[in-house]
Structure 1
Amino acid sequence: MKYLCVLFLVLLFVRISAQQDNYFEKWYNADECKLPQNTIKSIVKDKFGFIWLSTDDGIARFDGKNFLTYDVNIPSVENRTLLIEGSADDDWLFTFYNSGEIPSLISRRGFSVISDKNSSSFKKLKPYGEENLWKLLKETSEKIKKGRYYFFITKKEFYYIDHYRLFYQKDGKSRFIRDLNDYTYFRFFILGDQLFYLKNPSLIEKIEKTGEIKQCQTGITEKEDFEFFINTANKQLLIMNNNKVYVIEYKNNTILSTQICDSKTLKNLSITCMYYDHTTRTLILGTVSQGFLVMRKNFINTYSAPNQTIFNAIAPYSNKEVITGDGDIFNSNGYVKTLPFPNKDPYGILPLNDNAGFILKNEHSLILWSQGKARTIRNFGKKTVVRGISNTITGNKIWVSLASDKDFIGYIIIENQKIIKEKFYAINVPVRGITQVNNDELLLTAHNGLYLFNEKKSTRKTLIKNKTFRSINNNGDNLFWVQTYGKGLYLYKDGKIYEPPQKNNVLSAIHSVIDDGLGYYWLSSNKGLFQVKKESLLNYYLHRNAGIYIYKYSRKDGLLTLEFNGGGNINGLMHDGSIIFPSMNGMVYINSRNAFPVTSGKDYYLDRIAINEKEKNISGTLSLENNFGYVKIFVDYTNFGHQGNDYIEYQIDDNKWQPLSDNKVISINSLTNGNHEIHVRKLKDFSSDYHYKTLHVFVKPAFWETALFRLAAIVVLLLIFYSFYRIRLKQIEKESFILNAKIDERTRELKETIGSLSKTREELYAQLYRQKKLVAAISHDIKSPLKFINMSTEILMDTIDDGYYEKKVIGSIRESSAQILEFIDSTITYNKIFIYDNYKTRENIMLRNFIFQRMRLFENTAEFKSIQIQNNIGSSDVLISNPDVLSIVIHNILDNAIKYTDQGFIYIYGITNECRYHLVIEDTGLGMSEEELKQAEDFSGSRLGMKIVKELLPLIDVSFNIESKKGEGTKMILTFTV
């Protein structure tokens, strides 16, 4: 028992210590960021929210992420600065270089060194230089203490002491207040518009404008580490005492000392200056050699049980405590104890009415925990699995979903630790989450959809199908938030389901939506913890607003993990003023009444740019040269919290909105000449409204794009065209004269040519007449004797018996004479074709019979050479062509085929291919080599017959092709268009 007590005390100490040290802390130094130097002399927040730091190596402006540094840029002057003083409210801050000799001004978020001794700014600021040095050094010699020192309320209203005499000045009018002998100048400070003096840690004097001095107690007892830090520009007094930091405020005529920090980190720090931001509750401490530290007490705490860090379902245990499905009890200070729950199932716990105990979900049963004991109140058997229980009790009904061979939902009613009634319904869907919507209806989530069950009618209605839904939570109103497995957050309200308006990664995996009663929802998910304004989220769903500001918390805010759990019947709740969520690493407590999310500054600025890495400030329209190179537009704003909560986009002209990069820079490397608009919009904190700004950009045209250049170019072109016109006109006149002379000459030559052509025509007519006479002579004088020979041989054939050799010879004579007659007819026909142009006539040709007629002329020759000619043309094949020309062509082809074939075959057949008809005459004769084939195709070296074929085929629109191999025969293909 002794050891258990010791262990308990150790755990308690560790928990309390962890709670005291629950601060966000981040160091900034010259080694890890762009801070110019690690000795910080003063920290001041300007009117626009930017932090200014004076160091031993220049001035730096800090926006929460990035530093903008400034140097003195005077070769003979060190970059060492003094204190930053002035009035931040008036946007009038100043510091000094060279031990107070060279002033510099901080105004409109910019910094400038005033080195011109004749300027009015130099003359106004120079008197404050020496006192600035003494305030930094805190010199206490009598001579220095008698000097003049200023304490500004505004730029034109201030106090000052001179030789221990206090004065008040406003609008150029000064009046004496009183003597303050032996008062130390660096203990005066301003709060509001009142002057105070720090007498000691427990006593502050208020010095009225009438000269009256009132003493105010601080309630602080001085310790060894007591130090005070006066920030004149921000009108602050901060006291560090006993390792704690207090901010001194004056409210309702009373001095208040509020503890703002109690961190062990402060111990042994050499602190030089402080600034406390009331809005973000952030403390910034400057040090001698370590840079500066940003601190903020977290309002989120994470607690663990001794043997447990992963938690699921939770429920209220008492007015100030919650309990988990494992039996672990927590309050706002951390872990309390663990109840010995049997058969632990961390995913289901439901408190009974009137503090009668808890119903615990088990695999096959429901367990009642009451009065420190557990017992099974309902066993469903090993074949039935308890899939889920409801997250609320309505009318003493506890709803349960079961899975066996069928899926069921039902309820039990418990009184006096006994089930007095139960009823179950076959539901036929695997229900996981159950929530009572009204007296008759329940909202059901399942792996295959979202359903509405009417208990009174025992009916099930499908709201959404084919999506995996997980759980439901309600905050006691008519809004039911339905969670899914990565498919978004749904809203059920007044009988209507609202889907996520658009794809939103933040809302894709929400586990619970808790109303803090202060106008905000807190959302847990497996991607983090989020806060959103209730009104904005509802408008996002109900009215489909385009934008929504959702604040994301990080580990720096007190979380040990960003993954929360959502598998239980209750995944989050509001209890005793705290929002409580179970997570994968601890129970998360959120002090919602003291929550202060650190958002970015309300305003942002577009007046700083860099052209090719050379920075400058602009006002109004940004004017760029045509070949400007590379432009950076800095979007300046402050954010001392989580940088991922900046919702800023930009648009160039009418292009698509783009998210601003993490470095807060809009980069442009190409713009056409002319006017452009760069639009920037920032989503207002916890709102659906945007804050828009527009930067007008003008890109100067190149010299060739200016109106003057274009006008000059047009004039020059017109002059060139006119010059060309004049030159061309003269050239045309000259050419016209030469042309007329040539025309006259050509006219004479043409007359001579016409005369010569007329004579030639008469000669041609005479030749044609003689050719006609020749054809007639051939027809009469040659054909007649041949016909007589042919007739005579026929008579002789009839008088000679068949067995005699003479009859065979006479038959050959008859055939030869017939061939000669046919050749003469073909020759005559060939000549008539060209003489009388009768090749143009076309008629239908029955091709098979036409081929037979041509074959008869070669029967004897073929028989003599033992050649068989086969006519395989179809009986229905008809061609439209000139029969005279086609007859001559086929005659010549057959003649060649017989001539180069011995004891073989000649095949004649047709092939129809689409709109073509191919007439093929194929022999098995000698064939041709490649060289012979090439000569045959271009008819170089060919004999008269093939040359005639070449001349005649184009007349009847027939193409040809020759295929042949040496020793295998020749194939002649005539192609007709059908």
Structure 2
Amino acid sequence: MDNGLPQNSIKDIVKDKYGFIWLSTDNGIVRYDGAGFQTYSKLPIDNFHFGGFYGNIHSDSIILYNDYEENKILINKRTPKIIQKKYPDYTGKVFYWSGRILERPKNKKIEAELQYLIKTGNDKYHIYREKVFYTDKKGEKKRICTLPKANRYNIFISNNTLFIIDSKNRETRRIFRESVITDKTPTLFNDPNTKIYWQQLTDQTFIIHNDDIYLVSYHKNELKLHFVTRYENFANYRFGCMYYDAKYNRLYLGSSIKGLNIVQLTQFHTARKNLPYVDDVSYASLPFSDNTIIDALGYQYTKYGAIKEHKFGSNEKYYMLYDNDGNIMYKRKNMIFKRHKSSGYVTADSILFKGKTSNGVFRSFGLYGISETDFINSSLHLFSDSNLKKAAFSFKYQGIINNFIKYNNHDLLVGSTHGLYLTSLDTRKTVLIKRFNVKNIVKTRDGNIWITTNKEGIFLLKQKKLFKIPLDEQHYLESAHDILDDPFGYYWISSNNGLFKVSRQQLLRSFENNNSPVIYYRFTKKDGLLTNEFNGGSVPNAHLLPNKEMVFPSMEGFVFFDPAKVRTYYPEKNTIFIERVKIGREAITPFHQHINLENDYKSADIFIDLPYYADSSNLKIEAKIDYQDRKWEKIEAGNQRKYTLRNLGPGKYTLHIRVLISPNGEYQYQTVTFEIKPLFYQTKFFKIVLFLFLSLIVILIILNTTKFIRKMNKVLKKKVSNMSQELQETSQDLENAKKSIQKESEYQNKFLEAVNHDLTTPIRFIAMLAEKLNEEKDSEVQKEYFEGIHQTSEELYKFTLTLKEYNKLYATNIVFEETGFSLNEIFEFKQRLFDIIAKKKNNQIEIRSQNDILCFINKGIIACIIHNIIDNAVKYSNDSIITLFAEQNGERISLQIADTGNGMTDEQLLYYNAIYRNTDDKKTPFKDSGFGLHMVIQLIKKINAEIKFTKNTPTGTIVEISLKNKN
């Protein structure tokens, strides 16, 4: 019940003509398809305690009854139905034989009124009070024999012949119509410890003796037993029915208390030592006879297990080989042992290799190889014979060497954990073909060379080029171990998760056409293997024995099998049925090719019913919906094989489902149409009406809009003239704004030039003092230079604090300020700034203003003007007195800055006075020098002041500025 059965009492088992397994239980009828159980327990009856199956499988008529034969059930077309009985099946005197054990209670006779009726075709046999009667086709009833009294009779039919077994007297009666033959020879059939199971509908008879299960056949007047399997403690499980599925090699056992037991009869034999405290993890081996192998520990195996121990000792399991004389060579740490064939592999020689750690011993086409490694790099030493005395070749490789083969007469192919290498025996040069972790290099009997890797897949080497083979869907072949080809056109590949079989033709064709399908069949524990994990990393790893059996090492022992007898399973054609659907949470309902779904459906499960009893990973079911899916979508073949519809809009759809039914890529296709009903507003009629209604609305809107537009045109014409005038005014405003922005840009450029100009002189002076300080040795003079640098730097720092105000000089429109400032304060600040510089040129700056005058003109502009004039006087004067003077006459202020230095030339005086008088600044040509005075003249014009450049007597220049001090 834990696996989906409705009840743990299995009464009978049968397989119908479509391949489905049917179970009779005490709580309903069950159909099994290899994945899950479909229980029919909601039939319109009250009694769900069912008995045995009757009827005819080939005519699709399987019949069973519930207790007391209250109801008769017919299983037809994969569905149980209640049918009306035309006549009583149970008269109180006739019992229709269920097909299994006939026995009566101990110390009691069969009741006189109870008869046993057995039908075989047109023949009938009655057993009544130890008498056996035969009724022929004409209805004539004859007594043919009398049975000796016994506590129990075992009865079965095979090939239309009735067998009555008397275990007490060890007699076997064979009855065919009126012929009765009694055999008193003790056999397994009439052994008291034998139990017989017979199901007439399936025509199967089983004999169980000492836990061995046999299948009975009768041919040419001879009963034969075919061993099926051994089931430990068979009698403890109270099995009451049995069925053997020859196609899938499965045995079904029904218990009256423990449910259903499915025994997968293996196609494989795993040979083990079965010794306490000794593991069966297997690696390298060698063929030892037609049907045996031997491993590095000396154990000899057949497919049934270890049969002899040759006591080779405790050796490494990974490397073995035969030398030219048939001696067995294997490895133990840094020693190579050679066990002599001539002594029956009793005596052995050993060879010790000193130095690095010995890793492996190999042989390929007459070359013997020994690899040594420091686990970073490895050396491969090649010898021409098995004495291993003197190496003919030695090569070095990165990584640990796992195998090598002689590729041809001139080249070696070497695989290591670092990559695949090709080494020339002629030039002794090595080329790295590809960098990956090589597990094994295999040359199959068809001449192809395969490279198995760790996590990179399998590669075919052709003409020194690698071609990667397609992987299986689960990518288990990323870390395959070994490859063998059988005589029937297939490759067998071992991996860490199963044994794979693939068509040689498909695999090789995939290299020519990437779209060519490659179908892998995977064998696992469900096929009878003890483990899914095979082993690799050993040389040699797998064999094809002389008796045509294959051997692969695994974690549980050596796996033997005959590739000719191992079957692969695919669904049979025409056994795929799509006829059940489950919509939302409703019950499963049948349908025929078409499904109607309401618009509010949440999901719909469409079941794909097919009898498949092998590993579901080999079952390939795909689906796609027309105009929805471009590619086939794989359906997971789990406990329920189904396709779920979700999130589809209203409409008609076609679902295509295909199932792989052969290893050649043949599919069986099925289609299901379904329709999702639209809501009223999703119908075509509604959409047409809606379209017409919207069209009418649009037409009305257009008409009203046209009328409104005509009325508005009249109003707009009046507004156009007004707007034209407004546009002209707006255009003029935009032009003015453009000029303002252009002027602002010019102001910004001039500001940068002004800052650059005003900083040049003090910075140049600091640089000059620093240079002289570096050259001066006198400490007093150095101190004076330090003071000069300090004072100039401090004044320069104060000046930089006013740069923010400097930036506003050209952009500002504010010429006059509300609060006045002292002109003497400006004079004193500039005097301190330039004093040290002036002294170095023997210049003296004096302030001669008698009174402190308050000035209301923009302080930043005035400071900039004074700064630049003093800067020019200091820069171009030596041994000069620079005087700063200011006086106020009414609303005007006169500023005078004079020097007694070299002064301006006549040409310069004429030039700068002309610049001031020029009203168009853009047409004034600037000279290469004197930018500071150009800037002063621009600022003078900005504040509507006057400036005049004249000669000083006897030498120097006087700059007079007249300011209108408007408060």
Q: TM-score normalised by the shorter chain: which range applies?
A: 0.5 to 0.7
Q: Are residue 450 (structure 1) and residue 423 (structure 2) matched?
A: no
Unmatched segments (≥5 aa) in structure 1: 1-29, 153-157, 169-174, 758-834, 852-867, 880-885, 908-920, 926-973
Q: Take 2:577 and 2:629, find their aligned partners in 1: how far apart are those partners?
A: 21
Match of 1:197 in 2: 162
> Are 2:468 and 1:499 aligned?
yes
Q: Once the 2 structures are TM-superposed, how far is the Cα of residue 326 of structure 1 from its aligned partner?
A: 3.4
Distance in 2 between the 1:427 and 1:406 partners?
7
Residue 264 of structure 1: SS of its match in structure 2? coil
Q: CA RMSD in A?
A: 4.8
8 Å contact kept, 1:473–1:570: no
| Matching residue's letter, 2:250 | T
Contact 1:347 1:567 in 2 (8 A): yes
Partner of residue 665 from structure 1, selected from 633, 642, 645: 642
Give me the whole-angstrom Cα distance separating, in 1, the residues matched to 2:699 and 2:281: 92
The alpha-carbon deviation at position 97 of structure 1 amounts to 3.3
Letter in 2 for 1:491: L
User: How far apart are residue 46 of structure 1 and its match?
Assistant: 0.9
Q: Distance in 1 between matches of 2:804 and 2:524?
A: 94
Aligned to 2:302: 331
Matched to 1:325, the amino acid is A
Matched, 1:562 2:562: no
Which residue identity does 1:97 align to in structure 2?
N
Q: What secondary structure does 2:237 align onto?
A: coil
Partner SS, residue 487 of structure 1: coil
Amino acid in structure 1 at the alignment position of 2:282: F
Is the CA contact (8 Å cut-off) linking 2:188 and 2:194 kept in structure 1? no
Aligned twin of 2:629: 654
Q: Deviations over 1:210-253 (max 9, x none)?
A: x7778999963422243333323322223334433322234577
2:252 is the alignment partner of 1:284: yes
Partner SS for 1:629: coil
Cα distance change on mapping 1:408 and 1:901 into 2, 3 Å: same
Give the Cα separation in 2 of the matches to 1:79 and 1:626: 38
Distance 1:161 1:709, change over 3 A: farther
- Tell me the equivalent position of 2:98: 135
CA distance in 1, matches of 2:819, 2:515: 97
Task: Kindly report which structure 2 residues correspond to 1:92-111, keeping only aligned pairs within 5 A, or say none.
Answer: 92-97=61-66, 99-111=68-80
CA contact 1:408–1:424 (8 Å) conserved in 2: no
Q: Deviations over 1:114-165 (max 9, x none)?
A: 3xx4xxxx54x97589877663796965655376x6556xxxxx65568955
CA apart distance, 1:69 = 0.7
**Match for residue 627 of structure 1?**
600
TM alignment of 1:4-83, pairs within 5 A: 30=1, 32-71=2-41, 73-74=43-44, 77-83=46-52
Corresponding residue to 1:376 among 304, 328, 350: 350
Equivalenced residue count is: 725
What is the aligned counterpart of 1:682 among 644, 659, 664? Answer: 659
Q: Residue 111 of structure 1 aligns to which amino acid in structure 2?
A: P
Residue of structure 1 equivalent to 2:497: 527
- Offset of 1:309 from its aligned partner? 3.0
Instruction: Say if 2:297 is the partner of 1:314.
Output: no
**Residues 1:411 and 2:382 aligned together:** yes
Q: Which runs of 5+ in 2 are unaligned?
A: 105-109, 128-132, 148-152, 723-731, 751-798, 830-856, 862-941, 943-967
Structure 2 counterpart SS, 1:507: helix
Amino acid at match of 2:349: R
Secondary structure class of the residue paired with 1:326? coil
Code of the residue aligned with 1:44 in structure 2: it is: V
Do the aligned residues in 2 keep the contact of 1:239 with 1:246 (CA within 8 Å)?
Answer: yes
Which residue identity is paired with 1:638? P
Structure 1 residue 657 displacement after superposition: 3.8
Is contact 1:509–1:527 with CA below 8 Å preserved after alignment?
Answer: no
Find the residue that maps to 2:558 and give its secondary structure: strand
Aligned to 1:230: 198
Task: Check whether the contact 1:150–1:159 (CA below 8 A) recurs between aligned residues.
Answer: yes
Instruction: State how far apart, in whole Å, the 1-side matches of 2:624 and 2:482 are.
Output: 35
* 1:61 Cα deviation after fit: 0.7
* Superposition pairs of residues 729-744 of structure 1, within 5 angstroms: none
**SS state at 1:390 partner:** strand
The 3 A distance-change label for structure 1 pair 92 and 516 is same
Q: What is aligned with 1:589?
A: 560
Letter in 2 for 1:897: E
Structure 2 SS opposite 1:511: coil
Q: What CA distance in whole angstroms lies between the structure 1 residues aligned with 2:659 and 2:406?
A: 40
Tell me: CA distance 1:595–1:315, structure 2 relative to 1, closer, same or farther (3 Å): same
C-alpha distance in structure 1 between counterparts of 2:67 and 2:692, whole Å: 63
Change (3 A) 1:656 1:538: same
Give distance in 2, aligned partners of 1:300 and 1:111.
40
Contact 2:189 2:207 in 1 (8 A): no
Bigger shift: 495-504 or 258-267? 495-504
CA contact (8 A) 1:547 1:689 kept: no
CA distance in 2, matches of 1:41, 1:845: 108
- One-letter identity of the residue aligned with 1:54: S
Are 1:100 and 1:129, in contact at CA under 8 Å, matched by a contact in 2? no
Closer/same/farther in 2, CA of residues 330 and 227 from structure 1, 3 Å limit: closer
Q: Residues 669 and 176 (structure 1 numbering): CA distance in 2 closer, same or farther, change over 3 Å? A: same
| 1:606 is the counterpart of 2:578 | yes
Alpha-carbon displacement from aligned partner over 1:714-738 (angstroms, at most 9, x marks no partner) = 4555677789999x79x989x99xx
Give yes or no for contact 1:43–1:53 (8 Å, CA) kept in 2: yes
1:667 deviates by 2.2
User: 8 Å contact 2:30–2:38 — kept in the other structure?
Assistant: yes
Offset of 1:624 from its aligned partner? 1.6
DSSP 3-state at the match of 2:317: coil
> Any idea what the Cα deviations from partners look like across 1:674-733, whole Å, max 9, x if unmatched?
22233333333544444433322222222222223334444555677789999x79x989
Q: Tell me how far 1:450 sits from its aligned partner.
A: 1.8
Q: Separation in 1 of the partners of 2:239 and 2:261?
A: 10
User: In the superposition, relative to structure 1, how do residues 872 and 325 fare at CA in structure 2: closer, same or farther (>3 Å)?
Assistant: closer
The one of 470, 483, 498 equivalent to 2:452 is 483
Structure 1 residues 271 and 451: CA distance shift in structure 2, 3 A? same
Q: Return the letter of the residue paired with 2:817.
A: A
CA contact (8 A) 1:100 1:126 kept: no
Shift of 1:55: 1.4
The aligned counterpart of 2:615 is 642
What is the TM-score normalised by the length of structure 1?
0.64
Mapped contact 1:50–1:61 kept (Cα < 8 A): yes
Distance change (3 Å), C-alpha of 1:102 and 1:257: same
Greater CA drift, 358-367 or 503-512: 358-367
Once residues 528 and 604 of structure 2 are traced to their aligned partners in structure 1, the CA distance between those partners, rounded to angstroms, is: 40
Q: Is the 8 A contact 2:570 2:660 kept in 1?
A: no
DSSP-derived class of the 1:267 partner: helix
Query: Which residue of structure 1 aligns with residue 911 of structure 2?
Result: none
Q: Deviations over 1:85-114 (max 9, x none)?
A: 222222221222352242222122222223
Q: Deviation string for 1:25-44 (max 9, x for gaps)? A: xxxxx2x1221222222111
8 Å contact from structure 2 (residues 583, 605) kept in 1? yes
Given residue 622 of structure 1, which amino acid in structure 2 is its aligned partner?
A: I
TM-aligned CA deviation for residue 484 of structure 1: 0.8
- Whether the 8 Å contact between 1:161 and 1:167 is mirrored in structure 2 is no
8 A Cα contact 1:72 1:79, kept in partner: no
- Mapped to 2, the partners of 1:86 and 1:839 lie a distance apart of 110
Larger mean CA deviation between 255-264 and 55-64 belongs to 255-264
- Measured in 1, the distance between the counterparts of 2:187 and 2:559 equals 34
Residue 543 of structure 1: how far off its partner (Å): 4.7
C-alpha separation in 2, matches of 1:498 and 1:838: 75
Do residues 897 (structure 1) and 817 (structure 2) align? yes
Q: Are 1:599 and 1:640, in contact at CA under 8 Å, matched by a contact in 2?
A: no
TM-superposed CA distance for 1:591, in Å, is 5.1
Stretch deviating more after TM superposition (84-93 or 312-321): 312-321
Distance 1:275 1:381, change over 3 A: same
User: Alpha-carbon deviations, 1:54-82, whole Å to 9, x = none?
Assistant: 1121101112231111125336x211223
Tell me which protein shows more helix as a share of its residues.
1
State the AA in 2 paired with 1:452.
L
